[in-house]
Amino acid sequence: MSEAVMQTSCRLCLEHDDNLMNVFDVPDLDKLIYQCVCIKIVLSDSLPTDVCFKCIGELQNWMKFKKTCDDSQKTLLKHCKKSTMPSIRIQNIMNDSIEVDLSVFDHESLLDNLETSTNQSIVSFLPCHSTPLPEVITQNSI
């Protein structure tokens, strides 16, 4: 490829285009390219630094799609944590029972409080895909 052809070709798709945009004329476009396609564009490597508007559009579409996927993942994980959160049943001497719904608690603060309490066990929460919790045998049930 000749130097002249290389300078009028898009760095990403190599299509010849007379209407190219320099990567460094658009704030953070070089970072966007690296995030999407892992190509690091630097001034010192003597490779073209211009991209076509079609590729810029593809990068923007990719980032929108990535954001949609990230948001969906967060929503699913949040729902998964709420729907699989165990509840604790506390029985007092009078055989009255109290249900505690753990989904209303912030997991981090709950764990912090348990860890700082004396004579308390540390509770860990299993992820959604984990196996069911084992049955606990207490002295009273033997």
Asked whether the CA dihedral 48, 52, 56, 62 is positive or negative, the reply is negative
Nearest-5° Cα angle at 86, 68 to 121: 115
- Binding site residue list for Zn(2+): 10, 13, 52, 55
pTM beyond cutoff 0.85:
no
d(CA 129, CA 80): 9
> Tell me, what's the pLDDT at 105?
55
Sorted by where each begins, the domain ranges of the chain are 3-81, 84-132
| CB-based contact 54:21 (threshold 8 Å) | no
> Tell me, what's the pLDDT at 111?
55
| CB-based contact 13:52 (threshold 8 Å) | yes
CATH number of 3-81: 3.40.1800.20
> Tell me, what's the pLDDT at 132?
44
pLDDT tens by residue, the chain, 142 residues: 777 777 889 999 999 988 999 999 999 999 999 999 999 999 888 899 999 999 999 999 999 999 999 999 999 998 887 666 565 666 555 555 555 555 555 556 555 555 554 343 434 444 444 444 444 444 444 4
> Tell me, what's the pLDDT at 75?
93
- Binding site residue list: 10, 13, 52, 55
